[in-house]
Structure 1
Amino acid sequence: MNVESFNLDHRTVAAPYIRLADLKQLPHGDVISKFDVRLAQPNHGHVEMPAVHSLEHLFAEHSRNHSDRVLDFSPMGCQTGFYLMLEGRWEQSEVEELVAATLEDVVGAHEVPAANEVQCGWGANHTLEGAQEVARAFLAQRAGWSQVTA
């Protein structure tokens, strides 16, 4: 299949984890790294949409305070995680540091950025507390982030 995650046997992974999902070299030599930041066990759990939405806003805003190489932080439709797109090649430890620093910012946040009708397509669909709960749970399991399978 053309989509990398469609070729991943979701029964064999053990969330939470962070894994390199794709490395693309563009025609002029630029490289894009795509990481699977998996928060919930596929087909057994998920993150509720208001928490996904708020975490997307919070991570997108705060991650750029830690790196100017963040391209995108996109939620998975299955609501089990996000794709983190970064410019260049990244080591696992570098990505983990970026994710941890950003999630610490999420835990300490006082509001969800751009959670209003002017700046967001569904401004009422947010929960700061839900996003912070997900961030705390993921941070608590940091020691296992590099372990993708059980």
Structure 2
Amino acid sequence: MEELNQIASFSVNHNTLLPGLYFSRQDGNVMTYDLRCKRPNTGDLLTNAQMHSAEHLIATLLRNSEHKDAVIYFGPMGCQTGFYFLFDGNQLSHSQAIELLQFVFAQGATFTGDMPGYSAVECGNYINLDVACGKEVCRLYYNCIAEWTEPQLAY
């Protein structure tokens, strides 16, 4: 079997990684951000319900924003320490992407209304969705990145 190349996110020291927003990689015009606000390797992880609820809120808010056409993906990390945000770098600069995330996490923290996608038809695991739980995670992440700037995107 040939030796596999290590993926970029595995080359980051997760014992010293601080909560924040990081530019992970670029593939053509696709930019990948690594958004972490829980400390890896501390046992301080988000629950499935927290990850799922925040994902539904933020993905919906991103895809309803003025920059919706630039959004490629927003979703949770398997390690439960954060989220990935992928966007079209031809449509958004790094500073615009940071501002967009700050905006939607602020919106998510004060969200009113029913949880987007809260039905068996719309979501395969809708029963663990909770608006209050999602808002709490959005507040946590907003507070983490509220003052974030482009120079801070480096790991």
For normalisation by structure 2, the TM-score amounts to 0.83
Q: What TM-score does the superposition give when structure 1 sets the normalisation length? A: 0.86
- Once the two structures are TM-superposed, the CA of residue 147 in structure 1 deviates from its matched residue by 6.6
What is the correspondence of 1:1-150 to structure 2 with a 5 Å cutoff?
1-15=5-19, 17-25=20-28, 31-44=29-42, 45-66=44-65, 67=67, 68-88=69-89, 90-109=92-111, 110-141=113-144, 142-143=146-147, 146=152
CA contact (8 A) 2:62 2:71 kept: yes
Report the more deviating stretch, 57-66 or 113-122: 57-66
- The answer on whether the counterparts of 1:13 and 1:148 sit within 8 Å (CA) in structure 2 is no
Gaps of 5+ in 2: none
Percent identity of equivalent pairs: 28
Gaps of 5+ in 1: 26-30
The structure-2 alpha-carbon separation of the partners of 1:34 and 1:134, relative to structure 1 and needing over 3 Å to count, comes to same
Q: Which amino acid aligns with 2:108?
A: V
C-alpha change, 1:11 and 1:148, in structure 2 (3 Å) is farther
Q: Can you list the C-alpha shifts for 1:72-91, whole angstroms capped at 9, x where unaligned?
A: 01210111101101012554
RMSD of the alignment, in Å? 1.8
* Corresponding residue SS for 2:101: helix
Q: Greater share of helix residues, 1 or 2?
A: 2
Q: CA deviation at 1:124?
A: 0.2
The Cα shift of 1:148 comes to 6.1
